[in-house]
Structure 1
Amino acid sequence: MRQDSRLSRVLHALLHLEQMQEPATSELIAGMLGTNAAVVRRTMGGLRAAGIVTSTKGHRGGWSLARSLGDISLMDIYTALGSPILFAIGNDEVEPRCLLAKAANKATTKALEAARRQFENVLESTSVADLAADWRPEMTNCGPMEDQ
């Protein structure tokens, strides 16, 4: 199963956006993330719909933060990305007839649900600004939108 790296990539981009004086173009963000501008526009469009970023068209246009990073939780980002599936683990059958298969499914579902809740609790209690709190001095050498 292919990993979904959108959450960490978007967080990286948002941290850079905070440092920028001008809006960042989709092409600039795409270059930093190693993807293409269409993927950036589609992803950032979801963040715009969630009120996390804004966009301006035309010369000097691009993407900017709509609110401070301290007001954006990781859960806000995760939700804006469509709450991607966390695990490749799943049940063998949706409605098994065998009681042992039902017991196995119940245990697996219960564990996955607990893991999802814990993951979402951590996301909810962490702001995007929290990610850079310990790195502020080192970030002075990190130019806007340079891949690290």
Structure 2
Amino acid sequence: MAELKRFGYGLQALVVLAASPEQYSSMEIAEQIGCEPTALRKILSRLTEAGYIEVRQGRGGGYTLAKQPGDITLAEVYLSLHDDVPMLDGMLDTTGNHLFGQKVRQSFDQIMTDIRFQVEHVLKSYTVADLVE
């Protein structure tokens, strides 16, 4: 669940930056989107590492978009903010190491693979620009 919150806050931060050419501090973005500033800085750091935003340190600094909003797909943002453990893998924890659990685990694994594929497919069809409009 934390992964989805991170994705939601990350997208909102990108929309704030896409809506205006101004630089914003992490505190200003956090206030606009209703996010805790420390948590947002971690998200902004990941988005900076991925090359979607730029940060200028010091007085008069702040965050700006590094790419055009139409060039940033939601799938790219999701993948840059997600952890190595896919969000649905907790489902596998419910299967045991017995024969029935192993059979169900194979089915669960296929279902989760299909879900991840569909999620990424849908997210590729949207960009940050779509959210700004």
* Residue-by-residue CA offset, 1:89-118 (whole Å, 9 max, x unaligned): 224347x242x2221111111111101110
Partner of 2:46: 46
AA partner of residue 41 (structure 1): R
AA partner of residue 5 (structure 2): S
AA partner of residue 60 (structure 1): G
Cα drift, residue 72 of structure 1: 0.4
3-state DSSP class of the match of 1:129?
Answer: helix
- Structure 1 stretches of 4+ moved >4 Å: none
Partner of 2:87: 86
Query: How does 1:1-148 map onto structure 2 within 5 Å?
Result: 4-83=4-83, 85-87=86-88, 88-93=90-95, 96-98=97-99, 100-132=100-132, 136=133
Q: Distance in 2 between matches of 1:124 and 1:58?
A: 35
- Unmatched 5+ stretches in structure 1: 137-148
3-state DSSP class of the match of 1:5?
Answer: helix
Contact kept, 8 Å, 2:70 with 2:127, in 1: the verdict is yes
Rate the CA distance shift 1:101–1:51 in 2: closer, same or farther, 3 A: same
AA partner of residue 16 (structure 1): V
Write 1 or 2 for the structure with the bigger share of helix. Answer: 2
Rate the CA distance shift 1:117–1:63 in 2: closer, same or farther, 3 A: same
Normalising by structure 1, we get a TM-score of 0.77
Q: Distance in 2 between matches of 1:2 and 1:73?
A: 21
- Unmatched 5+ stretches in structure 2: none
Contact kept, 8 Å, 1:86 with 1:116, in 2: the verdict is no
Q: Distance in 1 between matches of 2:2 and 2:43?
A: 18
Identity %: 27
Normalising by structure 2, we get a TM-score of 0.84
CA RMSD of aligned residues (A): 2.1
3-state DSSP class of the match of 2:35?
Answer: coil
3-state DSSP class of the match of 1:67?
Answer: coil
Rate the CA distance shift 1:22–1:39 in 2: closer, same or farther, 3 A: same
Aligned residue pairs total 131
Q: Distance in 2 between matches of 1:28 and 1:108?
A: 42
3-state DSSP class of the match of 1:131?
Answer: helix
Q: Distance in 1 between matches of 2:48 and 2:5?
A: 19
AA partner of residue 25 (structure 2): T
